[in-house]
């Protein structure tokens, strides 16, 4: 029988407690939570105590922990707080519970912000499987099964909430009542995939935390991602968020869909690369077929060449299951033998051979020439231009969306592709297009853009490639 102490008694750890009680292999000695008297927690506690047949010990502060009587085999932490690192430090330094008390966490924000404490030479006492892609055994695969290989790159979908949202939007683009961004966000909150407003998920940060942790394991690389290289489906910055009409253009003209893609690449031949971005993904690829809240990753490596994995990337049940597998395992998934590489490519070094840009303007002659002239002045070549007719766009132009105010009805979205350019140059060109009020509405973000992720056969293996 393993003994555990639980820190944080929210969605995840309530499920951990339920599964632990059902397993008959794990005994809960104490539960620490900052607000155990909240209604939902009291109800969960009552239920779990009923099936256990006895009361559980709840505490509100780490100061109540006794070094002898409260010692457990494993501490299971799921608070979501970056400063929950204090609990790991307290275990190590104050309670003097060394390697023999394992610290299992699902808290990716804490791990990504404190990588040295999870991957240093003194980190035999931590397990982090559930922090990335919940139930997918990604950390274990990278750190054990692929450990002897040289990982060169990873391309995947690491945020289930936004994948669910994109999937829902795309399903209804040709329906008479299409689902707007706001509608699918509300639905994902209702289903428990996202917090109200979607913070953390829709801005790409959650996927970036996970990619940071995976990069550390795969490449021995500790990075703080460049904020310009982490963009979500609505980043609340200068550019527009994703809209249904973007899927129509991507489907109809570029045989692609749109996914929030996380990419990290590191090989001796090229500069390391780290990016989380909404991208156009070819319909023929497996990445484009990932539906709902699933997570998916393709790992390219020297000897195994190609491995992929797909599964439930969120939700209390798979997350708790992964945490309890960590509780029951005593294998060490850390190594600090690799050299740390800190310099990843910056946004002026990230080139894609094609980009799709969507603009929003009044449907007047001369507007495209106005924009293209500006691009040409910046040395960016326009490749193709697509424009749906007003009746084809119809309600798909998010009629219910109020970003453009009353002017929404008069605005027609158009799309063009540009040839090889880098991220910073494209952003700069779009931010400085002269907004002549004859052509453009005063309100709303006028542009959105997506790199086109290309897949090529390399030595017989289909791989996503980042153009040099």
Ligand X SMILES: NC(=O)c1ccc[n+]([C@@H]2O[C@H](COP(=O)([O-])OP(=O)(O)OC[C@H]3O[C@@H](n4cnc5c(N)ncnc54)[C@H](OP(=O)(O)O)[C@@H]3O)[C@@H](O)[C@H]2O)c1
Binding footprint of ligand X on the chain (CB under 6 A)? 8-12, 33-35, 38, 78-81, 84, 106-108, 130, 134, 314-315, 319
76/393 with CB nearer ligand X: 76
Closest CB 188 distance from ligand X, rounded Å: 12
* Burial (CB count <10 Å: 0-12, 13-18, 19+), residue 275: buried
Closest CB 314 distance from ligand X, rounded Å: 4
134/214 with CB nearer ligand X: 134
156/359 with CB nearer ligand X: 156
11/141 with CB nearer ligand X: 11
Return the closest-CA partner of residue 175 out of 241, 244, 243: 244
- The DSSP code sequence of 7-41 is E--SHHHHHHHHHHHHHSSEEEEEEE-S-TTSHHH
Please state the separation of Cα 265 from the chain's center in Å: 16
The residue of the chain with the least Cβ separation from ligand X equals: 10
Per DSSP, helices labelled H in 231-389 are: 244-254, 316-328, 367-377
Q: How far apart are CA 423 and CA 312, in angstroms?
A: 32
Q: Is residue 449 within 8 Å of residue 358, measured between CB atoms? A: yes
9/464 with CB nearer ligand X: 9
Q: How far apart are CA 208 and CA 219, in angstroms?
A: 16
Closest CB 10 distance from ligand X, rounded Å: 2
Closest CB 48 distance from ligand X, rounded Å: 14
Closest CB 103 distance from ligand X, rounded Å: 14
Q: How far apart are CA 238 and CA 212, in angstroms?
A: 25
214/281 with CB nearer ligand X: 214
* Burial (CB count <10 Å: 0-12, 13-18, 19+), residue 465: middle
Closest CB 256 distance from ligand X, rounded Å: 28
Q: Which stretch of DSSP H or E encloses residue 276?
A: strand 273-282
Q: How far apart are CA 34 and CA 413, in angstroms?
A: 49
Q: H helices then E strands: how many in the chain?
A: 14, 17
DSSP-derived 3-state class of residue 52? helix
Return the closest-CA partner of residue 67 out of 89, 101, 30, 97: 97
108/358 with CB nearer ligand X: 108
Closest CB 11 distance from ligand X, rounded Å: 4
Return the closest-CA partner of residue 365 out of 387, 395, 398, 394: 387
106/214 with CB nearer ligand X: 106
Q: Is residue 249 within 8 Å of residue 386, measured between CB atoms? A: yes
34/302 with CB nearer ligand X: 34
Closest CB 69 distance from ligand X, rounded Å: 20
Residue 24: C-alpha distances to residues 28, 104, 218, 321, 334 (Å): 11, 19, 35, 14, 29
158/423 with CB nearer ligand X: 158
Q: Is residue 443 within 8 Å of residue 383, measured between CB atoms? A: no
Closest CB 223 distance from ligand X, rounded Å: 20
Closest CB 146 distance from ligand X, rounded Å: 22
Tokens of 163: 């994948």
52/82 with CB nearer ligand X: 82
Closest CB 34 distance from ligand X, rounded Å: 4
């Amino acid at each position: 029988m393993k003994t555990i102490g639980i820190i944080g008694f929210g969605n995840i750890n309530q499920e951990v407690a339920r599964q632990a009680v059902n397993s008959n292999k794990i005994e809960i000695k104490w539960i620490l939570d900052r607000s155990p008297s909240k209604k939902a927690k009291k109800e969960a506690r009552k239920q779990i105590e009923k099936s256990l047949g006895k009361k559980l010990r709840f505490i509100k502060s780490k100061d109540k922990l006794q070094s002898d009587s409260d010692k457990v085999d494993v501490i299971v932490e799921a608070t979501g707080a970056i400063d929950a690192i204090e609990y790991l430090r307290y275990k190590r330094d104050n309670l003097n519970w060394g390697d023999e008390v394992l610290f299992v966490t699902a808290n990716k924000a804490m791990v990504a912000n404190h990588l040295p404490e999870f991957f240093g030479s003194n980190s035999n006492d931590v397990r982090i499987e559930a922090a990335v892609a919940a139930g997918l055994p990604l950390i274990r695969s990278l750190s054990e099964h692929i450990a002897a290989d040289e990982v060169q790159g990873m391309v995947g979908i690491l945020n289930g909430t936004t994948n669910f949202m994109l999937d829902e939007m795309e399903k209804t683009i040709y329906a008479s009542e299409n689902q707007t961004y706001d509608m699918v966000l509300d639905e994902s909150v209702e289903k428990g995939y996202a917090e109200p407003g979607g913070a953390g998920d829709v801005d790409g940060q959650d996927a970036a935390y996970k990619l940071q942790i995976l990069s550390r394991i795969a490449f021995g690389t500790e990075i703080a991602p460049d904020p310009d290289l982490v963009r979500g489906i609505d980043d609340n910055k200068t550019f527009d968020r994703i809209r249904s009409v973007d899927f129509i253009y991507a489907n109809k003209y570029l045989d692609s869909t749109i996914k929030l893609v996380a990419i990290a690449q590191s090989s001796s031949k090229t500069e390391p690369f780290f990016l989380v971005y909404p991208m156009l993904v070819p319909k023929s690829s497996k990445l484009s077929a990932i539906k709902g809240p699933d997570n998916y990753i393709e790992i390219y490596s020297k000897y195994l060449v190609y491995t992929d994995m797909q599964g439930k990337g969120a939700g209390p049940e798979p997350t708790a299951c992964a945490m309890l597998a960590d509780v029951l395992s005593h294998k060490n998934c850390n190594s600090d033998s690799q050299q740390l590489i800190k310099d990843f490519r910056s946004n002026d070094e990230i080139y894609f051979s094609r980009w799709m840009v969507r603009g929003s303007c009044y449907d007047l002659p001369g507007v495209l020439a106005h924009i293209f002239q500006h691009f040409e002045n910046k040395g960016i070549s326009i490749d193709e231009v697509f424009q749906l007719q007003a009746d084809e766009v119809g309600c798909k132009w998010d009629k219910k969306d109020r970003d453009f105010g009353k002017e929404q009805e008069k605005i027609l979205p158009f799309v063009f592709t540009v040839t090889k350019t880098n991220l910073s140059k494209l952003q700069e060109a779009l931010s400085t297009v002269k907004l002549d009020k004859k052509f453009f509405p005063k309100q709303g973000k006028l542009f959105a853009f997506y790199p086109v992720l290309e897949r090529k056969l390399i030595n017989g293996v289909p791989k996503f490639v980042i153009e040099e």
